[in-house]
Every structure is written in structure tokens, then in C-alpha cells.
Chains A and B, each alone.
Chain A
Amino acid sequence: MQPTDIHNPNYFHKVVDCQWACPAHTPVPEYIRLIAQERYTEAYMINWESNVFPGILGRTCDRPCEPACRRVRTEEKPVAICRLKRVAADHKGDITPYLPKVPQKKNGKRIALLGAGPASLAVARDLLPLGYSVDMFDRDPGGGGMMRSQIPAFRLPKDVLEEEVDLIVNMGVNTHYNYEITSMKEMLDMDYDAYFVGTGAPRGRDLDIPGRKEVSKHISIGIDWLSSVAFGHTTSISGKVIVMGGGNTAMDCCRTSNRLGAESVTVVVRSAFDVMKASDWEKEDAMAEGIPILNNRPPKEFVHDNGKLKGVVFGRVKPVEVDGRLKYVPTGEPDVYIEANHILMAIGQENHCPWIERDLGIEFDKWDCPVIDEDSLQSTHEKIYFGGDSAFGPENIIWASAHAHKAAISIHLFCQGKDPKHDRPPEAVNLISQKMGLHEWSYDAEHDPSQRHIVPHADLKRSLDNIKVEVELGFDEDLGFKEAQRCLNCDVQTVFTEKLCIECDACVDICPMDCITFTPNAPEAELRTALTAPAETLEQDLYVSETLPTNRVMVKDEDLCLHCGLCAERCPTNAWDMQKSIIHIPQLSSYAE
């Protein structure tokens, strides 16, 4: 193998599993250390810069970082990264001194943001400090998009939502609420310098099976129903409710029904439990509230009596693997009939924009999705950018933030006459030694073997009685500290300097995880078999040195490194050093100075 180029920003970035997995590349271990030091405000600001909505995300994020966390491999349960984000938000002090300054004098460029969801809000936050005038349009009476209209209050209290939405709006966004956009052409006629389309994926899918039309007054589309609950138009639901679908919308629908007076609630899913789209914790929470989830039951027919819904007939299937893909085949058992008075349909959403005329130079592909450049998020019309759910279909809040940062840079480049795709600033990495003295590191290197701490929940009866009672209570400072200590500081890297190495094996002998091997060089596959303890998964790279005097190379498998620093402690010549990698992910704020 070629010697590893540790100055390639991706190399060490990848070692920080959580940061690499986070769409917005939040520097997770950095803020976790700050939490352990009770520096909540700074921890909050690190999050705010990367992901824009720490308080909201600390409760609702889809958390791709957690399954990626190194701790899953070294132990089993990841660090509760998402809940620690909430700790920072819950315990922070006054953040105003840390907020970017928005200049009084505008730079003369006007930007239109279509939709007021997280994507548009984050674009606004990035653009305002550079002097842009930002106009934001939404049909809803307030900002926040689906964070306001969909996510129920028992998961995301209104005050938490409003604090973070208002923070941005108050930076100087010109809001145009209750504004239904019906024509893109009309918007273009307003002659903004650039447009950001952040209108989300607002159309819920429907299901056409026998009886659908006849019982339509007993059927609600899940997302429409949730928003009418959120805006106070719907306050109760009666009788037996069936929620169809296995995603997070289905989980929110069933838990909301449970709180609004349903006699019984059943979730019926056509696929298997393990492959349901809903996050594990959403499923767990729904089940903990006593809601049954029935799997492998595709709906066949709505049974009714002259338009009055009686129930639904479901078939029975079982998953079988055909060529590595799951296929559902009928089990041959008789169908099941479940009584119902109301159906909530939560089987998916579409990013459908009927209001964009198809003759404006904005191309759409065969699935009716806009054609977008992945690096710049520019559409085929140079002034128009997409982000959030409207870009590539329904995702989540953290992807909306990540898209927004990209789009904001593109819009800025475009407004300066530069190329949004090719003039983008590069990523970079800085390495800073953490050595403070003999056996002294500026981070807490010692490995904490404790198990993941459990977040306390509100009393079940109390939360089922009132839809506004938040179910999760969050970690207090003490639990937050304990959980923070589980983080392995994956951003404090083992950096090897070959010319200092005397090949004494001290690092090999001390490493608790058998990461380090000295062996003759070979192609990667062969080299991996020569390792003391070869990795199970090949996601992490091998760190390979230049050839050493004994004609061997040092190979470090990054996979299970605990970043405990023992290799560096035992190295007599400082050939190993623990250095913090700071990954610079370009953001518009770096242009502000």
C-alpha cells in the first residue's frame, strides 16, 4: 500500500465516525468534551454553527451519527450523541455575544427563500451576516416548516421550536407568511438575484384499493392530519384507529391518536418489523405506550356499509430473500380482518411542485424530481437552488441544514459572479498536538467502560393525558457528564512519524485493541490478513507508514482505536503523538470576516 496521506482532510475525518456520518459534519467529540467541562454555551454554539437547530435536533434528529459511533464496535451501544446535544441546549447560558453580527448596510443582493422550513431558515442564517436581503415565503402562519406542522409537541415542545426559529427570523428575515406560492414564474418576475426552493415534500401518498373512494370521509392522509392537529384544527379522534405505514409519520400518527381519545390504535405495516422506516427509538416509544405494531400485512380492501367504514382486510405475507433482496410472498394463511372507524394513511411523501411551470428552464427528471447538481444544489436554471426535502425527496432536518450550507455558498458564489460548482472552497485539516507534559494530555484519555445511560421519561399516564407533555426528559447535568465521558475522543488522532521510530514494539505491546502491526508491506487485502487482529468491517482505513529500516511498515487499523493515547505514552521517541484533527468544512460564515 501507499503511505497514508494524513493531510488529506478526509483521512482523519473518516476516523471521527460520528462527524463523518453527520450530514452537516458536526464536530461531535469537540462539543461532547465541552459538555463534560460544563461549558454548555460553547457546546451549543459549535452545534449551532454546524447544524443550526441544536435544541430541536437534540430531541428529534434522525442521528445517523449514532449507528456509526465507534463505541458500537468497541462495545455495543453508541454514545448518546443526540441526547448530549440536548444537554448543551437545555443548559446553555446567554448565546447573544456569540452570534454573528448582521450588517445594517445591505450588500445590495436580494434572495428569495420559498418555504420557511429548516432548509430555508438555515440558508437565511448563513446569508444574513454577509449583508444579503432575504425574503422568505410560506403558506403557513409561522416559520419552521414540518418541524412546526408535523412533529408533535410531545416530542418537540413549541417553545424549543420557536426559540431557534425566531433566533434566525430576528436576524432580519423579511417574512411573508400565509403566502401560497402558486407560480414560479410569478416569483421570477419579482426579480430576485437568486432563489432557494425549500418547499419540502408536502404531498402524502395515497393507496388505491377497493373501497377507498367509498370510505374517503373516514380516511386522513397522515401528514395532513398531523398538521391540522399541530395548528389546532383537530383536537380529537374517536373510535378504532388503524394507522397504515411503518415510518416515523406512522409513529407520530399513532402516538398522537393515542393522546386524542382513540378507543384503540393499531399500526399495520406491509413489511417486516426490522425493515420498517421508523427509527428504532420511535418504534420503542410507540410500543411502550401500548400500541401494537402488526407486520407483514399488506392491505387488500376497505370493508364498509354504504360508505361507513367497518374495517380493513389485510393479507398475510412473509419476507424471503431472493438474490439478496427481500421479497414478500403470501403465506397461504387466511386474510385478517381488523375493525376500524378511522384510517390514518402514512405510507410516504413526495416532493411534488405543481406550481413550478415546466417551461422556465428548470428541468425535471422522469420521476418528476428537479435535476440538481449534487455539489452546488443548483438547478438547471442558474438562479434557482434546491435544498431540504424538495431536492431529493423526504429526508430529515439534519439533511436540510447540510443542504442549506451548501446552497448558501453556491448563492454567494453566484452573486459574486463565480462558479457555484467549481469555485467552492476546499475542505482542510489541522493537526494540533495534545501533549501537555509527561503523561499529560489536554483531553481525558482514560477509557470509560460504562454502559450507555438511559434517558428518563415522563410518567406514562401524564404524557398520554396531555399531548403537550414532552415524553423524554433529557439528561440532567450529572447524567450528561457521565454519558459524555463515554466518548472516545475519536478526533484526537494517533499521528506517526516514521523517522523517529526505533521499532521497539512498545506501542504494539501496550495497545489494548491490537490496532498496531509492524509487517512487510503488501496490497491492502493481503496486508489486512497480516494484522494481529483483523477488523470485522472494512469501513475504516489502514494507516500505513513509509518503509522502516527493517523493511517493514507500521500498519495501524483505525477500526477499533480507543484514542486512549497509550501508544504515545509508551513510545520512547515520541514517534507516536496524539493530535487533535480539526476538520474545516467550508461554511459561508468563513467569508464573513
Chain B
Amino acid sequence: MTFVPKPAARHPLLKTNEIGLTRRDYEAIVSTLCAGCGHDSVSAAVIQACHELSIPPHQFAKVSGIGCSSKTPSYFLGNAHGFNSVHGRMPSIATGAYLANKELKYIGISGDGDSASIGLGQFAHIIRRKVDMCYIVDNNGTYGLTKGQFSATNDRGSTSKRGVPNLYAPIDLVSLAIQLGASFVARSFSGDKQQLIPLIKAAVLHKGFAFIDVISPCVMFNNHEGSTKSYSHVRNHTEPVVDANLIMPRDEIAVEYEEGTTISVPMHDGSELHLRKLSDSYEPNDRVSALTYVQKAQEEGEIVTGLLFLEEDAVDCHDILGTTDTPFNGLAQESLCPGAEKLEQINDSLR
């Protein structure tokens, strides 16, 4: 916990984005998480990504459940909308909010306990419903907030701080998300912002459900020798397979890619997502092959990272339901509540 507030003073040459804001304008109050918590790095990456996207903070809505991870929306985008819901129930809130207003950019922050233990059912259904949002799980393999119990993503054999091994096999949220129909699935590491920031940017812009599993070490309860979610273990066992880079319309494209290794995906706001394959055998557009690759690596104890699956031209729940594009707050009283006569008509049509 930090008691000294972060000074408002800033570097005079800090970059401003297209709407004249600096990264500092995307910050919020100082974190109260343990010093060194991976979750704080994820927050910093969200701040940087949103700044680079040049979207005003008030056009975001932050949603979360319960856990150290779910507390973090308080520590970024201080001027955004937000809802800190109950444990494992963020998907319901997000779905409702998205149905009411599709114009906001939704960022969901959850934990492995929040999404893979208590909230697994909700997690499955928000994917199935294709809510257009960026859903991030700060995955530390533990219940940080309740002092370090194994969570459902903790690897079998990985030990607790006191050396007791975990007896259950893990749930892999990435595999689940691919399988359940998410149109954007990625994995990254809180300690690798270079990879994480472009992924968050792309996930925010992606139309459809975008999921990022971020391995985010808990320095307090799961960063010891014997843990498979510690800074050093993750650093030594990651294998990036697809590099993602979001090229905004105003960016100059400086990098030249090797022929055949790069896939260019146009985004609906005019930017382009460049996917560079780091592994020849990897197919990020093929659900089955991606799933196979991820699971095979998992068996070998390797953590594959990068943009693991992408479906272009995905649909979202408003498309499926044919609901109005206008947010509820933009609809007039008559359309929102057409009155008893209209209700009667509808009921009649169903009799």
C-alpha cells in the first residue's frame, strides 16, 4: 500500500495523443495492492493502451467482480464509467450494460478465482453471448484477496507458499474461450508490456468478445520457488507464437515484415492489425488447430503467448438479437416505454 499520493507533476515532454491527452490523464488513484503485484502492471498497460488509442476516458466502462484483480479498475481510467459487481458476476453486469449502451468501450477485469472458480458459468455464457468487450483475467493461480488459496487455474503439482502441492488439474481459460466461440483470444504476461499493450489495444477495437488471459504474479502468495505462476517461472517458460501490432491510421509503418509471415487484418476504425507468426506451424485463424497447439504446449509445461486466435468479421450479441444501435439514454420516452396499447398489441400477436 502506498500512502504518498502520486505527484501531479509530470515529464514535460510526455507524449500527447490525438485528443491532446497525456498518459497521466488515463490514470486514477494510486493502487492499494501489494507493491510488485502483477495486476498493477496490467493496469499500467491498460492506461497506456487506452491513451494510445486516443479514446476519451469517459467513453470507457470498466466492469469487474471481486478479488485483488477486480479492485484494479479503481486504479486506471479515473474518468471512466464503472461497476464493481459481486464475485463471479461481472459477466451479467457487462451483458446488461452492453445491451443498454453499445457505444461505450467495455473493459472487464476479473481474476482466475472470479472467472474460473465461482464465476465459471457466467464466464462461459458471456462468451457464448458474444458481448463486444475486452475481457481481461489477471491470472495468478491463487485467490490473492483471501490470502492465497489455490485457484482453479493453478497447475497440478505447483506448490503453495508453504510447499504443499496442488492436487487438481487446472482449467485453461484460453482453451475454454477458443472452444466457446470467442472471436479474439490472447495470452500475455504482466511483465511483458511490449506484448501486452498492443494486445489490449486490439482487443478494445475488436468487434466481438475479446479475451486476454494475463499471467500476473501474486508477489504475496504465489511468487515463490515451486509456483508455476511466479515471475521467474513464467519468464523461463513462455513461448510467444503470434506477435500482434496495431497500426493506427496516423502511424507510419516502419517495420518491414518477412514475406508470408504476416497477416494484416483491417479494423473497423481504419487501423490495421498486423499478426506476425513466430512459429511456422501456428494457425491463428483456425479454431481447432489453435486449440490443439495451445493444449499440447500446456501439456509440455510451456506457456504459449500472443494473439492465439482471431476470427475476422465476428458478430456480437446486438447483431444476433437485432436490437437497436441507439443507447437507451438516447431513446425518447415513447420508444422506451411505448405504453399499454403497444404492449397489448405485442401480447395479441403472441396469442
Contact = CB atoms under 8 A, between A and B. Distances in A.
A502 B231 contact: yes
A445 interface: yes
A534 B13 contact: yes
B4 A506 contact: no
Contacts of B15: 533
B36 A506 contact: yes
A570 interface: yes
Chain A contact residues (Cβ within 8 angstroms of B): what range?
35 or more
* Main DSSP-derived SS at the A contact region: loop
A510 to B, nearest CB: 7
A446 B7 CA distance: 8
Contact of B30 (A73, A510, A560, A571): A510
Interface string A562-580: 1011100111110000000
B13 A533 contact: yes
A393 to B, nearest CB: 37
A3 interface: no
B231 to A, nearest CB: 5
B34 interface: yes
A549 B235 contact: yes
B5 interface: yes
Interface stretch (B38-46, B60-68, B98-106, B295-303): B38-46
Interface string A530-571: 000111100000000000011000000000101011100111
A285 interface: no
A505 interface: yes
A536 B14 CA distance: 11
A533 B35 CA distance: 23
A234 B70 CA distance: 80
Contact of A439 (B4, B11, B12, B190): B4
Interface string B1-29: 11111111111111100000000100000
A503 interface: yes
Nearest to A504: B36
Nearest to A559: B11
A280 B237 CA distance: 61
A514 interface: yes
Interface in A503-521: 503-506, 508-510, 512-514
Q: Which of B11, B44, B217, B219 has the most CB of A within 10 A?
A: B11
A74 B9 contact: yes
A564 B11 contact: no
Contacts of B36: 502, 504, 506, 570-573
Interface in A199-254: none
Contacts of B191: 503-505
B81 interface: no
B6 A439 contact: no
Given A502-B231, A505-B191, A506-B40, A572 B34 contact: yes
A566 B11 contact: no
Contacts of A109: none
Given A504-B217, A562-B9, A570 B231 contact: no
B232 interface: yes
B318 interface: no
A449 B4 contact: no
B43 to A, nearest CB: 8
A377 B240 CA distance: 64
Contacts of A449: 7-9
A534 B15 CA distance: 11
A166 interface: no
Interface residues of B, number: 35
Nearest to A71: B9
B11 A560 contact: yes
B9 A550 contact: no
B9 A75 contact: yes
A418 interface: no
B161 to A, nearest CB: 14
Nearest to A550: B235
B193 interface: yes
A446 B5 contact: yes
Nearest to A508: B44
A447 interface: yes
B176 to A, nearest CB: 28
Given A439-B1, A549-B235, A562 B7 contact: yes
A49 B312 CA distance: 74
A503 B231 contact: yes
A513 B9 contact: yes
Contacts of A565: 4
Interface in B219-244: 219, 223, 231-232, 235
A533 B43 CA distance: 19
Given A566-B6, A569-B35, A572-B35, A506 B41 contact: yes
A536 B12 contact: yes
Given A502-B232, A571-B35, A509 B11 contact: no
Contacts of A509: 40-41, 43-44
A510 B13 contact: no
Given A505-B41, A534-B13, A564 B7 contact: yes
Nearest to A572: B36
Nearest to B41: A505
A299 B250 CA distance: 57
Interface in A303-343: none
Q: Which of A503, A506, A569, A573 has the most CB of B within 10 A?
A: A506
A571 B40 CA distance: 12
Contact of B11 (A504, A510, A533, A549): A533
Q: Which of A75, A508, A510, A573 has the most CB of B within 10 A?
A: A510
Interface string B30-61: 10001111101101100000000000000000
A514 B7 contact: no
Nearest to B36: A572
A568 to B, nearest CB: 9
10 contacts: A439-B2, A449-B9, A504-B36, A504-B190, A506-B35, A506-B41, A560-B12, A566-B2, A572-B36, A572-B37
Interface of B: 1-15, 24, 30, 34-38, 40-41, 43-44, 190-191, 193, 217, 219, 223, 231-232, 235
Interface of A: 73-75, 439, 445-447, 449, 502-506, 508-510, 512-514, 533-536, 549-550, 560, 562, 564-566, 569-573
Given A505-B193, A534-B13, 16 more contacts: A439-B3, A449-B8, A502-B36, A502-B219, A503-B235, A504-B190, A504-B217, A505-B44, A506-B37, A506-B41, A509-B40, A510-B6, A512-B24, A533-B13, A536-B12, A562-B9
